[in-house]
Amino acid sequence: MKEPKVEVNDQVPVFKSWNSWYLLTILLLVIQVVLYFLITKFFE
C-alpha cells in the first residue's frame, strides 16, 4: 500500500515545532526519575 502523504497543517500550540513538546516531555521524565531517586535515597 502506498502510504498517504500526511499533511499536517495544524498550528503547533505554544512552541514553533512539535519537537519542542517532545523534548519537554523527555526532560520532565528525566527530572522525575532524578526526583524519585533522591526520594528513595532520603527515605531508605
Partner 1 sequence: MSRIDWSVLFITIAAIVIYGIWKSRGQKNIQSFLLADQQLPWYSVCLSVMATQASAITFLSAPGQAFSDGMRFIQFYFGLPLAMIVLSITFIPIYHRLKVYTAYEFLEQRFDAKTRSLTAFLFLLQRGLSTGITIYAPSIVLSHILEIDIRYAIFMIGGLVILYTVYGGTKAVSYTQMFQMAIIFSGLLVAAAMVVALLPEKVSFINALKVSGKLERLNILDFKWDLNNKYNFWSGLIGGFFLQLSYFGTDQSQVGRYLTGSSVAQSRLGLIMNGLVKIPMQFFILMIGVLVFSFYQFHEAPIYFNKAQVKKVLESPEHAESFKEINTNYESVYQAKITATQELSAALEQNNQQVLDQKVSVVKAKEAELQTYRKQAIEIISKNDPLADKNDSNYVFLSFVTSFLPVGLVGLLIAIIFLASMGSTASGLNSLASTSVVDIYKRWLNKDGSEKHYLLISRLSTVLWGVLCIVVALNASKLGNLLEAVNILGSLFYGTILGIFLVAFYMKSISGNVVFIAAIITQAIIFHFYNIDVVSYLWLNVIGCLSVMLISAIIQLGWNNFAPEKK
Residues of this chain, 4-43, that bind partner 1 according to CB under 8 A = 4, 6-8, 10-13, 18, 21-22, 24-26, 28-29, 32-33, 36-37, 39-40, 42-43
- Closer to partner 1 by Cβ: residue 1 or 16: 1
Question: In whole angstroms, how close is the CB of 16 to partner 1 at the nearest point?
Answer: 13
Q: Assess contact for 29 and 23: CB atoms under 8 A.
A: no
Question: In whole angstroms, how close is the CB of 10 to partner 1 at the nearest point?
Answer: 3
CA dist 24 → 14, 30, 34, 36, 41 (Å): 12, 10, 15, 18, 26
